[in-house]
């Protein structure tokens, strides 16, 4: 099953490599990875999506917790949560395709953020399924380049991941 694990990490050089290294060292999967500093500059928030049965996920969280640089973590998929990913797509847009892409973008609430006579660059945010759906709707022939941020997430309601 797919899990979204959010981690508060010491914002220290090398801390990220310990997390990434742990996944390869222990043969765990990383599907997406997303990291940036938080409002407290001594901390980074790292969100990783991974696959595994209950035993593997338990091992992943235990081993992550064992890293000295990991301050706190939560498996967001254990409760209600909001999940978002941002994607930029560069598309070949000539002739009829220009209108077609615009219509599709509207349906998916995507925005065109850059235009040339033959190119649209489209921005879209949503959960991973929505982004996949958008790419499918566009069809492979027009897509020139895709840049996805990887999943970020936060628990719904009053629950917080903070020090």
Which residues contact another protein (rule: CB under 8 A)?
A: 10, 13-14, 17-18, 21, 25, 55, 58-59, 62-63, 65-66, 68-72, 163
First-last CA distance in the chain: 28
E strand or H helix at 51: strand 43-51
E strand or H helix at 106: helix 96-107
Nearer to another protein, 45 or 130 (CB): 45
* Residue 123 Cβ vs another protein, minimum distance, rounded to whole Å: 35
Nearer to another protein, 10 or 127 (CB): 10
* Residue 58 Cβ vs another protein, minimum distance, rounded to whole Å: 7
Q: Is 7 left (phi over 0), alpha (psi -120 to 50) or beta?
A: beta
Nearer to another protein, 42 or 111 (CB): 42
DSSP 8-state symbol, 134:
H
* Residue 42 Cβ vs another protein, minimum distance, rounded to whole Å: 9
**How far is the C-alpha of 9 from the C-alpha of 11, rounded, in Å?**
6
* Residue 55 Cβ vs another protein, minimum distance, rounded to whole Å: 7
Extract the tokens encoding 34: 């997303």
Nearer to another protein, 68 or 96 (CB): 68
């Amino acid at each position: 099953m797919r899990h979204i694990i959010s981690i508060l990490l010491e914002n220290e050089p090398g801390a990220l490599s310990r997390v990434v290294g742990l996944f390869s060292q222990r043969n765990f999967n990383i599907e997406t990875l997303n990291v940036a500093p938080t409002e407290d500059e001594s901390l980074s928030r790292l969100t990783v999506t991974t696959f595994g049965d209950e035993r593997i996920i338990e091992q992943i969280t235990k081993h992550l917790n064992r890293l000295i640089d990991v301050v706190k973590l939560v498996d967001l998929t254990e409760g209600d949560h909001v999940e978002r990913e941002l994607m930029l797509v560069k598309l070949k847009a000539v002739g009829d395709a220009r209108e077609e892409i615009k219509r599709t973008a509207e349906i998916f609430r995507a925005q065109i953020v850059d235009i040339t006579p033959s190119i649209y660059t489209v921005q879209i945010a949503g959960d991973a399924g929505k982004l996949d759906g958008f790419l499918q709707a566009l069809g492979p022939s027009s897509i020139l380049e895709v840049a996805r941020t990887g999943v970020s997430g936060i628990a719904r309601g009053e629950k917080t991941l903070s020090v």
